[in-house]
Structure 1
Amino acid sequence: MGLPFTSSLNAISFQLPMSRSFSLPVDAPNFRSGFLTHLPMGKWSHFPKSSISSSLRNFGIRRRNSRDRFSSAKNLNFIPHAFNGDSDSPAKTKIIVITSVLTVLLATANRVLHKLALVPLKEYPFFLAQFTTFGYVIVYFSLLYLRRRANIVTDEMILLPKSRFMVVGFLEALGIAAGMAAAASLPGPAIPILSQTFLVWQLVFSVILLGRRYSLNQIAGCVIITAGVAVAVGSGSNAGQMLSGVPPLWPALMVASSAFQAGASIMKEFIFIDAATRLGGKSLDIFVVNSFGSGFQALFVLLFLPFLSNMKGIPIAKLPSYLMHGAGCFLNVGAERPGCGGAPLLPLLYVITNLSFNITLLSLVKKSSAVISSLVVMLSVPVSIYILSLPLPYLPQGATLSPLFLTGSLMLVLGLALYYIPQRAK
């Protein structure tokens, strides 16, 4: 079944048409004289001719102004579907920079705390994933309800078509399912490296769905960034032997997982752009997207749950018992539970940070674009790897980074600089 993109894109990809009432060429003096000649004088003689002439002159001016306005928009090749409704003002740029810095900090903390949270929950990573998936639905809809009561969220926002949010939830759930299936048959270092195709898929989908165009230096910068992150992540492994003996199906499935996630992120950006048109220029609240997107994601994950559970080696019959033991280790209250040291502090810190990161990231998508937000998040990858190489509480052993890590980090910075080189406006 095809995705309902075409009609939605046509709804916002438009050129302002010439109004038919003003499309015929009108010579104002001749029109005025002909109009006055044919007036029935008995009925209209009480109107001063000067008033009628003045009105017709004003009519001609308005007609010309309307024509100039429409023709100038056409000449400037105005394309609403590549524009999110905000002006490129210094204030907007400042907000984007501040949001980007906050996103990098939260993304770094999110990666580090996820690793720390899995110390007490090392036997229950599947529980942590399901806890965040279904728990966030309650949090997001609670915040949406409060913002609706405060009149921040309007009825028009709530009544936006739900098919787009359904697509987002389906793609994210499908990405999770495909990623878990591939991860079960791939060596650990190959997973984050193959996942770096996410940015490439974002570029492709933003061109197809949003009509964006990228310069050569932007494309080259994204390729260098992707390669740099892959080098930094895989610096501690033997890349030549990493996928030896692995059937091609599993790397392809991991790449497809990245494609599904990238499609979901571009679809979220499209929702913001389309909502600006539907809401008459008003800005869509991010918690509408977070709430309905997460709700549909949880619904599809629930449908995929037997498959996901088997992929993690947990028979569906034993899933309730596994989830109960995972919740007990997460809370770590009452009797001392062996192997659950650090809970509930570390898991709660991760959940709070991950929630803040998701909200900030979606805010950055709204203010800039999905591609920009991915470039910002990629900055956190080498930073978090470096932090995790240091001795940390509950991870005292640390690690030694190879020279390839520094090479990959430099490639990442070079790619970002290349992407953001100013282009002369055409």
Structure 2
Amino acid sequence: MARRGIGAAVGATVLLAVTNRVLYKLALVPMKGYPFFLAQVTTFGYVAVYFSILFLRYRAGIVTKEMLLLPKVYFVVIGVLEALGVAAGMSAGAMLPGPAIPILSQSFLVWQIIFSMLFLKKSYSLNQLCGCFLVISGVTVAITSGSDEGRFLSNVEFIWPMLMVASSAFQAGASILKEFIFIDGERRLKGKRPDIFVVNSFGSAFQALFVFLLLPFLSNLRGIRFGDLPAYLNDGASCFLNTSDDQVACDGAPFLPLLFITANMIFNISMLNLVKMSSALVASLTSTLAVPISIYVLSLPLPHIPHGSRLSPSFVLGVSFCYSD
């Protein structure tokens, strides 16, 4: 029965992961001039939504006082790691070609295995370690593959792909720490694992706090001077609500951005639920399964994106290595 429940959760998470990636691309059609605004709406908006749900679950007796009293230091570390992951990822993403970013991000799986072995004392079979090697091979093949302009990283300094890999390490550390919270919480709560909204709410709150502290740095990475940030956010809000003077450029808002935000929230809840039921590695592998499907879907003509894209054979080869484990 437990395996059947995990199988159903895996299937639902794959579907939600594909939907999330596709809707993110569609949301950026009206918000193409304001991706940083959309990122801040999701970061800070989720805190309010998650805590509202947490309050309702507490009132319903699903969340207990003991769950709310779990040590907050772990959530602080999660917030720091995820904020650093955002900062490192945005720094590297600004300097890397688009196709290389999702491939380099697959080092997330490798970091998860390393951290779970070090901190959760887990062991892995030879097949699983071979799968890890295939991910590394896929990353290498994909980023050195040819394209019309030459190799993906031919004109990129070595520090930027390494910084993207470091971003994956920060995020992988946060995911392993969330798994540890469930395991440690089960011990503290005498056999009952913490509610996922306890972990989601406090983790998101501290992430938002540290992202706020890094806001001058993050906005500068997006080419927005800190002094210009209020005007940028105001223009972003106008486009998001489709009250801008240039309504043609913001066509699709607010429906598409709100659809993405809703799907992304449900996907995050599904992912954390899978971590609670199984492990952080299972959850990330499940999300990884959705990437090649998403790449294929996004290469097709879609509403608001009528022109599909052609995938080069070398890029497909690298992707197939990355997701064959």
2:131 matches 1:217? no
2:116 matches 1:206? yes
Q: Does the 8 Å contact 1:235/1:402 carry over to 2?
A: no
Counterpart of 1:303 in structure 2 is 213
2:33 matches 1:123? yes
Structure 2 unpaired stretches of 5+:
none
Q: Does the 8 Å contact 1:192/1:233 carry over to 2?
A: no
2:264 matches 1:367? no
Aligned equivalents of 2:284 and 2:150: distance in 1?
28
* Percent identity for Structure 1 against Structure 2: 62
Report the more deviating stretch, 175-184 or 290-299.
175-184
Aligned equivalents of 1:230 and 1:360: distance in 2?
31
Counterpart of 1:358 in structure 2 is 268
Report the more deviating stretch, 105-114 or 328-337.
328-337
2:154 matches 1:154? no
Aligned equivalents of 2:296 and 2:24: distance in 1?
15
Which residue of the other structure, out of 327, 331, 342, is the alignment partner of 2:252?
A: 342
**Alignment of structure 1 residues 98-113 onto 2, 5 Å:** 98-113=8-23
Counterpart of 1:393 in structure 2 is 303
**Deviation by residue 1:275-299 (Cα, 9 ceiling, x = unmatched):** 0000000121000000000000000
Indicate the structure whose relative CO is greater, using CA pairs within 8 Å and at least 6 residues apart: 2
Q: Does the 8 Å contact 1:113/1:346 carry over to 2?
A: yes
Q: Does the 8 Å contact 1:310/1:316 carry over to 2?
A: yes
Q: CA deviation at 1:128?
A: 0.4
Q: CA deviation at 1:229?
A: 7.1
Q: CA deviation at 1:120?
A: 0.3
Question: Secondary structure of 1:264's match?
Answer: helix
Call closer, same or farther: CA 1:144–1:394 in 2, change over 3 Å. Answer: same
Q: Does the 8 Å contact 1:192/1:230 carry over to 2?
A: no
Call closer, same or farther: CA 1:164–1:97 in 2, change over 3 Å. Answer: same
**Deviation by residue 1:49-75 (Cα, 9 ceiling, x = unmatched):** xxxxxxxxxxxxxxxxxxxxxxxxxxx
Call closer, same or farther: CA 1:309–1:412 in 2, change over 3 Å. Answer: closer
**Deviation by residue 1:193-248 (Cα, 9 ceiling, x = unmatched):** 22111110000000011000111111112332454477679878469632224222
Q: CA deviation at 1:336?
A: 5.8
Q: Does the 8 Å contact 1:236/1:401 carry over to 2?
A: no
AA paired with 2:130?
A
Q: CA deviation at 1:252?
A: 1.6
Aligned equivalents of 1:326 and 1:202: distance in 2?
35
Aligned equivalents of 1:399 and 1:344: distance in 2?
26
Aligned equivalents of 1:248 and 1:400: distance in 2?
27
Call closer, same or farther: CA 1:131–1:236 in 2, change over 3 Å. Answer: farther
Counterpart of 1:257 in structure 2 is 167
**Alignment of structure 1 residues 7-156 onto 2, 5 Å:** 91-156=1-66
Aligned equivalents of 1:228 and 1:278: distance in 2?
41
Which residue of the other structure, out of 153, 163, 167, is the alignment partner of 1:243?
A: 153
Call closer, same or farther: CA 1:221–1:348 in 2, change over 3 Å. Answer: same
Question: Secondary structure of 1:379's match?
Answer: helix
Return the index of the structure with the highest Cα Rg.
Answer: 1
Q: Does the 8 Å contact 1:206/1:266 carry over to 2?
A: yes
Counterpart of 1:379 in structure 2 is 289
Provide TM-score, normalisation by structure 2: 0.94
Call closer, same or farther: CA 1:368–1:230 in 2, change over 3 Å. Answer: farther
Q: How many equivalent residue pairs?
A: 325
Call closer, same or farther: CA 1:326–1:370 in 2, change over 3 Å. Answer: same
2:184 matches 1:289? no
Which residue of the other structure, out of 224, 234, 254, is the alignment partner of 1:324?
A: 234
AA paired with 2:101?
I
Q: Does the 8 Å contact 1:165/1:293 carry over to 2?
A: yes
Call closer, same or farther: CA 1:99–1:229 in 2, change over 3 Å. Answer: farther
**Deviation by residue 1:253-284 (Cα, 9 ceiling, x = unmatched):** 11111100000000000000000000000121
Q: Does the 8 Å contact 1:306/1:316 carry over to 2?
A: yes
Aligned equivalents of 1:196 and 1:234: distance in 2?
15
Aligned equivalents of 2:16 and 2:67: distance in 1?
28
Q: Does the 8 Å contact 1:178/1:253 carry over to 2?
A: yes
Aligned equivalents of 2:19 and 2:169: distance in 1?
25
Call closer, same or farther: CA 1:238–1:221 in 2, change over 3 Å. Answer: farther
Call closer, same or farther: CA 1:228–1:96 in 2, change over 3 Å. Answer: farther
Question: Secondary structure of 1:386's match?
Answer: helix
AA paired with 2:290?
S
Question: Secondary structure of 1:314's match?
Answer: coil
AA paired with 1:260?
F
